[in-house]
Amino acid sequence: MDRLLIAMAAAVALLSACGDKEEPFQLADGGGAGDAASAGAITWELNVKPFVEKHCLSCHSEKNQGPSRLGAPPAVNFSTYEQAKQNAPAGSAAVLAGRMPPGGIPQGERDILQRWINAGYPEK
């Protein structure tokens, strides 16, 4: 019973780390995520890769295996542009619906992802 409680407490602590809301995501041009609707083109390199690094790679990286993935499917990784583009339909649906990352993110940050999808997943 004690091991179960410790495991549950560790899982809650890890999940809460995914939803870091202390520092708002910044667009590459220095604008805040709330400026996403009026900012220029959204690309993988300038905008989405930093978003993914901040919110997704703690679980969705091929370097991360086993329990440290916190239930993320082994084949769903976002470490590279190719992986992100391949997994974007399912991953973005979870983000846009507020299911990912655990703990959520502000709407402005979800807007960045939506703009990238609408633009056809531009890399650079």
Query: What is the structure's pLDDT at 91?
Result: 86
Indicate the number of domains in the chain: 1
CB-based contacts of 73, cutoff 8 Å, min separation 6? none
Query: What is the structure's pLDDT at 86?
Result: 92
Query: What is the structure's pLDDT at 71?
Result: 86
Rg (CA), the chain: 15
Domain, as residue range, for 79: 2-118
The answer to the question of residue 30 being in a domain is yes
Q: How far apart are CA 71 and CA 61, in angstroms?
A: 12
The answer to the question of residue 123 being in a domain is no
Residues of the chain short of pLDDT 70, as ranges, are: 1-39
Query: What is the structure's pLDDT at 89?
Result: 86
